[in-house]
Amino acid sequence: MIKKVSMSIAGLDTGNGAGAESDLKVMEILGVHPVIAVTAITAQNTMGISAIYPVDAEYLKKEITALMSDFDVASIKIGMIYNKEQFRVVQEFLHNIPVVTDPVIYAKDGTQLINDIDDYKKMILAKSTVITPNAVEASILSGIKIESINDAEKAAKELYKKFGNPYIIIKGGHINGDYSFDILYDGKDFFEIGYNRLYNKNTHGTGSIFASIIAAEMAKGNSVYNAFLKSKEILQVAISNGLSIGKGIGPIDPVSYIEKNSQKYEVLENMRKFGDFIENTENFWKLIPEVQSNFAHSIMPNYVNSLQDIATFRGRILRRWDKKVVVGYPAVFGNPTHTARLLFSIISMGENARNLINIRFDEKIIHEFKKLGYEVIEINRELEPIEQEGSTMQWIAKYVKENYNKIPNVIYDRGMKGKEAMIRYWTENLEEMMYSLKSICNNI
């Protein structure tokens, strides 16, 4: 197998949140072989940097020379470079190769990571293909205070004029507001990606990982525009799953991007398995209510951020006239069924739930659940506030949690005017659900 090679020139973060280590993770996720030239070792954790030990410039030159003389490096990502002696070394290698520079002037705790800023501008920024400052860094480099998208566009034009980079990307995460944006400027046109702000304090490494994605995608021959889109796709997931580790600002988790995708493949396989179980289990038709059933199955609960992480059958689970049960394939993510919304609400309440099905209410079925050892709770749908209409599933989870301080596996109601009585059954383990449902089918 052959892979493209991308080189990271950056410092080591002992807390593994940013720097060369995060570059390695991201490039491998994107199918690129990463190599690194270390500029400094930082004593760092989630609360900040307590010490920086820059490597000797001559040693840095030996690192880069060793890599460039052996590997066909297809792109370079530059992070922390500490001083002008290092700048002089690095600039020698920035020819005829795409270079993506993340100008990390300051760390999150305010520690200055780049000294000799004027030399840095001339030797590094001016020789980069893409620069990716955040709004604060772009303000420092351009001299324009950035508080809006219009300010960011002015700053991008100024940076383009100053350094002549083919591409300027300004990240808007530091600008206040519920709506965030990043802009790409190529000297002629602006390209903007907007998104609802993700309120997660654990954002360490965002800038480093952003630039690494751009570099990895360029190494594979993809355009800066497509790399720009890919960066937001990955970062939305990585920020949503920022790690609550340490006592300060935790790192984002780019690995969650591939973990979620791999888990979704497993979920789809399990949906097929459960569908086969339904269609081949004797008497399963006895569990299907008049409104029919559906089944919801999620990825691991700690990765669930929305209905996009929960699969259901596009059609319902149907009981036919001849007592056969037919599953409404295919399985899809993001379908806002009652089962998906209730499972999401239960997960949001802290339960380790992954599977949920709605089945017909019958006293015999309730009795069988109790025989299997389940705690069973009855709710009164008439207690649901009128203003909650349309949010029944969220109300059920909230009501049970508030009144019982937990959400038992079996919740049923006896219906109300216009609403069929229903049992809702959830488990963490799919095998447990299939075993229990088969047992009930055999005994009713």
What is the domain-level CATH number for residue 403? Answer: 3.40.225.10
The least confident of 24-38, 102-116, 292-306, 309-323 is: 102-116
Confidence of residue 361 (pLDDT cuts 50, 70, 90): very high
Name the domain count of the chain: 2
Pair (362, 376) in one structural domain: yes
Q: How much is the pLDDT for 113?
A: 72
Both tokens of 366, joined, read: 């309730």
Q: How much is the pLDDT for 387?
A: 61
**What's the average model confidence in pLDDT over 194-213?**
87
Pair (132, 26) in one structural domain: yes
Q: What is the pTM of this model?
A: 0.85
pLDDT tops 70 at residue 140: yes
Spatial CA neighbour of 99 closest among 227, 22, 211, 187? 211
User: Which of 253, 280, 314 is where one domain is finished?
Assistant: 253
Pair (122, 224) in one structural domain: yes
DSSP characters over 312-367: EESS-EEE-TTS-EEE-PPEEES---HHHHHHHHHHHTT----EEEEEE--HHHHH
Distance of alpha carbon 441 from alpha carbon 360, whole angstroms: 12
Confidence of residue 245 (pLDDT cuts 50, 70, 90): very high
DSSP characters over 253-301: -THHHHHHHHHHHHHHHHHHHHHHHHHHSTTGGGG--TT-B-EEEES-G
pLDDT tops 80 at residue 167: yes
**What's the average model confidence in pLDDT over 25-46?**
96
What are residue 130's DSSP bridge partners?
100, 167
Q: How many CB atoms lie within 10 A of CB 118?
A: 8
Confidence of residue 198 (pLDDT cuts 50, 70, 90): confident
Pair (326, 247) in one structural domain: no
pLDDT tops 60 at residue 270: yes
pLDDT tops 90 at residue 105: no
- Average per-residue pLDDT for the chain: 93
- Counting residues of the chain whose pLDDT is more than 90, the rounded percentage is 83
**What's the average model confidence in pLDDT over 172-180?**
72
pLDDT tops 90 at residue 114: no
**What's the average model confidence in pLDDT over 12-17?**
92
Residue 223 contacts by C-beta under 8 Å, 6 or more apart in sequence? none
Residue 224 contacts by C-beta under 8 Å, 6 or more apart in sequence? 129, 130, 166, 167, 184, 186, 214, 218
Pair (289, 428) in one structural domain: yes
**What's the average model confidence in pLDDT over 112-137?**
91
Q: How much is the pLDDT for 174?
A: 63
Pair (234, 298) in one structural domain: no
What are residue 355's DSSP bridge partners?
297, 427
Higher pLDDT, 330 or 198: 330
The least confident of 229-238, 379-388, 414-423 is: 379-388
**What's the average model confidence in pLDDT over 167-174?**
86
Q: How much is the pLDDT for 148?
A: 87
Domain extent at residue 45 = 5-253
**Could you tell me the CA-to-CA distances from 345 to 301, 407, 436 in Å, in that order?**
11, 11, 23
User: Which of 253, 284, 303 is where one domain is finished?
Assistant: 253
- The SS3 assignment for 240 reads helix
Pair (62, 204) in one structural domain: yes
User: Which of 253, 268, 293 is where one domain is finished?
Assistant: 253
E strand or H helix that includes residue 182? strand 179-185
- pLDDT tens digits for range 393-438: 999 999 999 999 999 999 999 988 888 999 999 999 999 999 999 9
**Is residue 297 a contact partner of residue 355, using CB atoms and an 8 Å limit?**
yes
**What's the average model confidence in pLDDT over 94-119?**
85
Pair (217, 248) in one structural domain: yes
Q: Which residues of 81-112 are buried (b: 16+ CB within 10 A; e: fewer)?
A: bbbbbbbebbbebbeeebbbbbbbbebbeeee
Q: Are strands 310-313 and 295-298 parallel, antiparallel or unpaired?
A: antiparallel
Spatial CA neighbour of 115 closest among 262, 11, 33, 12? 11
Residues in the chain: 444
E strand or H helix that includes residue 192? strand 190-196
Pair (239, 312) in one structural domain: no
Q: How far apart are the first and last CA of the chain?
A: 57
The least confident of 46-55, 188-197, 337-346 is: 188-197
- Counting residues of the chain whose pLDDT is more than 70, the rounded percentage is 98
Read off the CATH number of the domain in which 140 is found.
Answer: 3.40.1190.20
- pLDDT tens digits for range 69-79: 999 999 999 99
Distance of alpha carbon 129 from alpha carbon 300, whole angstroms: 39
Confidence of residue 280 (pLDDT cuts 50, 70, 90): very high
Q: How much is the pLDDT for 181?
A: 86
- The SS3 assignment for 199 reads coil
Distance of alpha carbon 239 from alpha carbon 209, whole angstroms: 11
Pair (99, 131) in one structural domain: yes
**Is residue 113 a contact partner of residue 11, using CB atoms and an 8 Å limit?**
yes
Distance of alpha carbon 28 from alpha carbon 281, whole angstroms: 44
Q: How much is the pLDDT for 292?
A: 95
Pair (264, 404) in one structural domain: yes
Q: How much is the pLDDT for 203?
A: 84
Confidence of residue 31 (pLDDT cuts 50, 70, 90): very high
DSSP characters over 302-318: GG--SGGGEEEESS-EE
**What's the average model confidence in pLDDT over 196-201?**
79
> Tokens 């300060």 identify what position?
248
Pair (208, 308) in one structural domain: no
